[in-house]
Amino acid sequence: MSLTLIASYPKSGNTWMRVFLESYSTGTVTDINSKSTPSSADRSLFQEHCGISSTDFTPEESNQLRTEVYRSIRDATEGHAFLKVHDLPTPKGLFPPEVRVIYLVRNPLDVLVSATDFFSFESDKQTTLFMKDRQAGLAAREGGINVQMHQKLGSWSHHVNEWLNGDHDLTVHVCRYEDMYDRPEETFGAAVDFLGYPQEPERLKQALQNSQFSNLQRAENEQGFHGRAPSQKRFFRRGRPGAGNSLPEAIRKQIFSDHGKTMQQLGYL
């Protein structure tokens, strides 16, 4: 029994990695609408694993319980359990220190293009402000109850630096989105090694085929996709790096100004 977090800032390839890992671990074609890798912020996890509704608690109180919920998920799963994560790794102890983490990172220029589409931001400038906001989060709306608990993001740079260099005890393996696209066998194969799976070349080849964007797009066309935002025409759009290169120069300069140091550390500048 083990638990792996597939963590990322939104729109950085989380679903892509999830489909690959599910396909590799099962040796089958993964249903893109599979619920076998839930969000770590899904309120239903509380009800299922500890019989408590998260709506009865403040966000701070819920955070204190989440660690035990994740351990319960691990213990209830034969083999590997996966969770999709967009939270920061803080407060320290939110996630059990024994879990493993695959952290996905993507060029923030491309994140901006994808996030503008997904979140229905009115303009690239609005998305830029969101990506710079140290107080940014998900499921933070006022009034009513979201199906997910509030998730703290912070800015793009803060999110990346907290996961890669922050004050936590988690073992983190980093995958760049661009390497997933340009060097899939090497990059996804390294993720398989990190998780302790046996390296099986044919199994890897088949899982890569199952998770190709063209196949994900076809599956979305045929089945729909529950993760698609209501305003989106499609969730699986291009998949290729470089969409941010066509952004207006002023937006690109702002991203460089806001996140240049972290981009440089990751080889994006």
CA angle 165, 167, 172 (to 5 degrees): 50
Binned at pLDDT 50, 70 and 90, residue 27 comes out as confident
User: SS3 for 7?
Assistant: strand
Binned at pLDDT 50, 70 and 90, residue 212 comes out as confident
The residue assigned the tokens 């890798």 is: 37
| pLDDT of amino acid 143 | 47
Amino acid identity at 263? M
175/187 Cα distance (integer angstroms):
7
44/22 Cα distance (integer angstroms):
21
Binned at pLDDT 50, 70 and 90, residue 224 comes out as low
CATH number of 2-265: 3.40.50.300
| pLDDT of amino acid 144 | 46
Q: Of the ranges 15-24, 52-61, 71-80, 137-146, which one carries the lowest mean pLDDT score?
A: 137-146
Q: Which H or E element spans position 57?
A: none
Alpha-carbon distance values, 50 to 20, 44, 68 (Å): 30, 10, 9
Residue 87 has pLDDT above 60, yes or no: yes
Q: Of the ranges 70-74, 125-129, 178-182, 253-257, which one carries the lowest mean pLDDT score?
A: 70-74
Binned at pLDDT 50, 70 and 90, residue 265 comes out as very high
Residue 62 has pLDDT above 80, yes or no: no
| pLDDT of amino acid 146 | 64
Binned at pLDDT 50, 70 and 90, residue 93 comes out as confident
| pLDDT of amino acid 233 | 62
Alpha-carbon distance values, 64 to 8, 164, 189 (Å): 22, 23, 35
Q: Long-range contacts: 183-190, Cβ < 8 Å, 24+?
A: 184/208, 188/20, 188/24
